[in-house]
Chain A
Amino acid sequence: MRNKKMLFLLLSICCFALPAMAQAGGTVTSSVTANWTVAAACIAMAIASGLCGLGQGRATASAAEALARNPAAGAGIRFALILGLALIESLALYTLVIIFAKVK
């Protein structure tokens, strides 16, 4: 129940920010409507970075726990950790590339 409250609070805060886009006046839209491209780009990047952070946190936590249980396997654990972190990072970077390709 508390999680739902936090979710709705976050979404309503996002809605407060959108009128700020109206002053930017994008090249495609009129000066009254908001620049939805920029708004969508910001929300997409935020979601991508947040989920990437969650994923990398889980990977690091598992690696730290495995290392604590079995310090002799450090090399293999470190290898799996670095590989996993880089692959998860690249998912957030795909979002950034799309933003740079599509947002003028």
Chain B
Amino acid sequence: MPEQLWITALLNHWFAGLANSVLRMLCIHPQYPQAPINNTFAMELLVFALLILFFVLVRASLSVDRPGALQHIVEGAEGFIDNQSDEIIGHGSRGFTPFLMALGLFILLNNLIGLVPGFESPTASPSVTLGCAVLAWVYYQAHGFRHHGIAYLKHFAGPVWWLAPLMIPIEIISHLARMMSLTIRLFANMFAGDMVTLVFFSLVPIGIPVLFLAMHLGVSLLQTYIFVLMTTIYLSGAVAEEH
């Protein structure tokens, strides 16, 4: 029996049968059949439910004449991402805002929920950050193809045609490395924060670990911003117009 958070134990108690059937349909055999849902997945489901609740509350309280506090907050966040993508991408950046907002809010809530006692950050597991990174990568490649058609592949050939045999492997590796760097940056920041908090907790149980929790708060916000910023920069590279 693995060590479970209370929310994982609750979800396994209710949905273990359903989860086992779904996994069996995909030919995956869980290590502990009485606890097929692990901590990371249970926390992700909780974050998903909280975000849906947040969006529903915002949508229900929208008003043109008398905007409430929630509307101000969401408009502020959306304006921030809008301005940033406009600065970096330029023309046509408005269409990317919903994806960047959703990605940013998902990663932010994933990072911050680790501060609450009894919960852990799903982004401290490399599979979650890999999922976000693959999503961002597929998104910007898809928009590159959508914007340029098949001529998007000319981006990989470099500035002059006779450098193409050298540039194409380098560009492909560099694009794949973007996925790796997005994954590892977020994962390592969250995971190392947890490790360092634990180390100092084992040394000085009172007082000092609070400093590391404060650092985790700052790092969560910064790493979310960096992830969204890097995705915006990759998008600008993909949909850039040659002058």
Contact = CB atoms under 8 A, between A and B. Distances in A.
B229 A90 contact: no
A93 B222 contact: no
B226 A83 contact: yes
A36 interface: no
Contacts, number: 28
Contact of A90 (B185, B191, B225): B185
Size category of the binding interface on chain B: 10 to 19
B184 A86 contact: no
A93 B188 contact: yes
B181 A86 contact: no
Chain A interface main SS type = helix
B22 interface: no
Most buried by B among A82, A93, A100: A93
B232 to A, nearest CB: 11
Given A86-B222, A90-B181, A90-B184, A96 B229 contact: no
Contact of B223 (A83, A86, A96): A86
A97 interface: yes
B188 A96 contact: yes
Contacts of A96: 188, 192
A71 to B, nearest CB: 20
B189 interface: yes
B187 interface: yes
Given A93-B185, A100-B191, 14 more contacts: A82-B222, A82-B225, A82-B226, A86-B222, A86-B226, A89-B185, A90-B184, A90-B185, A93-B189, A93-B192, A94-B188, A96-B188, A97-B184, A97-B188
Interface of A: 82-83, 86, 89-90, 93-94, 96-97, 100
